[in-house]
């Protein structure tokens, strides 16, 4: 049975958007976007919609005041069949986290894209001032699987000059699926599943690592093996940068601690969240990045995260 949520009254608003997913109680997205709309003087709001009811969501999107939506799990793939168009990035990774509208004649087209890709590469470039020394023309590495891994692979290969990408994960079938998908969509060359510490020891060290796994200590034999592979790479002579995508319930994770202890630079997942969200607001408001209150957003998110016990 679908979970449906009623939204608050919105008649007083000029623009309405949604965060569509389930569960989403921990999401910083509504706070993030409200900070931007208030700073720009827009009478807009993004409503959280903790729901699995796709039909209800699509009806809400028909409101002429609706400017778009953030889409999260479990809807990033299910939404695809309801789109009029999709951007090349969205098609390449096979997942949509952002909906926006564009006019074509008399028709208002619903378009999907994936700003997670931008979040990944901007998190590195905005925080690592010397990419030529740190990760350009070195292998990249992704810890995890699924859609998040595809987005990370795409960012590393298409935007960060990583010709090869190592995949580390507890589940070989997930890795095989990522490699098959990326190969089918034109960016699978140079992907390598690294499954043992001995294999890792024989390879060139990565310069950029994207960790896309929850903050749980490994317990199964497969999880322990994947952790050992990661540590084998972290111990290598070259010390690069790691983007730790997990920031809930805390932005500082066990993996981040392990990387920092081995002299890697760690970029928190909130950085990726901020830069992908700013790209969303460029699409929705039509404002250029330089017009958005970037520092104000960072202050608000940092203040909110400071309330979390680390």
Query: For 275-285, what is each residue's pLDDT tens digit?
Result: 999 999 999 99
182-200 mean pLDDT: 97
Angle at alpha carbon of residue 121, lines to 223 and 82, rounded to 5°? 85
The length of the chain, given as a count of residues: 310
3-state secondary structure of 122: helix
Q: Mean pLDDT over residues 194-203, rounded?
A: 97
Looking at residue 9, what is its pLDDT?
64
- Helical packing angle, 294-305 and 269-285, nearest 10°: 140
- As a whole number of angstroms, the distance between CA 281 and CA 17 comes to 11
Predicted confidence at residue 308, as pLDDT, reads 65
Phi, psi dihedral angles at 58 (to 5 degrees): -65, -30
Nearest to 19 by CA among 9, 33, 8: 33
Give the mean pLDDT of 251-273: 94
Confidence at residue 309, expressed as pLDDT on a 0 to 100 scale: 52
pLDDT digits (tens, 9 = 90+) for 6-43: 676 678 999 999 999 999 888 899 999 999 999 999 99
> Span 258-273, mean pLDDT?
96
When the pLDDT of each residue in the chain is averaged and rounded to a whole number, the result is 94
- pLDDT at position 201: 96
Residues annotated as part of the active site: 76
Which of 93, 42, 87, 88 is CA-nearest to residue 67? 42
pLDDT of residue 26: 85
Q: Strand 265-268 to strand 241-244: parallel, antiparallel, or no bridges (unpaired)?
A: parallel
Judged against a pLDDT cut of 90, whether residue 252 lies above it is answered with no
pLDDT digits (tens, 9 = 90+) for 64-118: 999 999 999 899 999 999 999 999 999 999 999 999 999 999 999 999 999 999 9
Does 170 sit behind a cis peptide bond, omega within 30 degrees of 0 on the bond before it?
A: no
Spatial distance between the Cα atoms of 112 and 101, rounded to a whole number of angstroms:
9
Tokens representing 49 are 């919609």
pLDDT band at 307 (very low <50, low <70, confident <90, very high): confident
In this prediction, residue 5 has a pLDDT band, given cuts at 50, 70 and 90, of low
pLDDT of residue 147: 82
pTM score > 0.85 for this model? yes
Residue 214 confidence (pLDDT) above 90:
no
SS3 of residue 68 by DSSP: strand
Predicted pLDDT of residue 250? 76
pLDDT tens digits for range 115-170: 999 999 999 999 999 999 999 999 999 999 888 899 999 999 999 999 999 999 99
């Amino acid at each position: 049975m679908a979970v449906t949520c009623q939204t608050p009254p919105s008649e007083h608003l000029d623009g309405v958007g949604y965060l569509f997913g389930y569960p989403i109680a921990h999401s910083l997205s509504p706070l993030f976007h409200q900070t931007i709309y208030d700073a720009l003087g827009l009478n807009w709001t993004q409503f959280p919609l903790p729901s699995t009811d796709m039909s209800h969501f699509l009806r809400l999107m028909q409101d002429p005041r609706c400017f778009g939506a953030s889409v999260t799990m479990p809807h990033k793939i299910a939404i695809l069949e309801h789109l009029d168009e999709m951007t090349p990035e969205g098609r390449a990774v096979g997942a949509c986290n952002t909906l926006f509208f564009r006019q074509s004649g008399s028709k208002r087209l619903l378009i999907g894209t994936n700003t997670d890709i931008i979040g990944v590469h901007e998190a590195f470039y905005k925080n690592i001032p010397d990419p030529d020394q740190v990760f350009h023309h070195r292998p990249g590495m992704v810890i995890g699987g699924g859609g998040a891994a595809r987005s990370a692979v795409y960012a590393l290969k298409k935007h960060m000059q990583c010709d090869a990408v190592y995949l580390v994960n507890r589940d070989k079938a997930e890795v095989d699926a990522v490699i098959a998908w990326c190969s089918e969509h034109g960016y699978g060359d140079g992907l390598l599943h690294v499954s043992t510490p001995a294999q890792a020891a024989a390879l060139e060290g990565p310069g950029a690592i994207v960790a896309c796994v929850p903050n749980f200590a490994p317990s199964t034999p497969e999880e322990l093996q994947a952790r050992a592979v990661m540590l084998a790479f972290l111990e290598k002579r070259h010390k690069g940068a790691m983007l730790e995508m997990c920031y809930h319930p805390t932005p500082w994770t066990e993996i981040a601690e392990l990387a920092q202890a081995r002299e890697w630079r760690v970029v928190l997942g909130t950085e990726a969240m901020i830069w992908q969200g700013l790209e969303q607001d460029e699409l929705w408001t039509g404002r250029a990045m330089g017009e958005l209150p970037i520092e104000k957003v960072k202050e608000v998110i940092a203040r909110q995260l400071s309330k979390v016990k680390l």
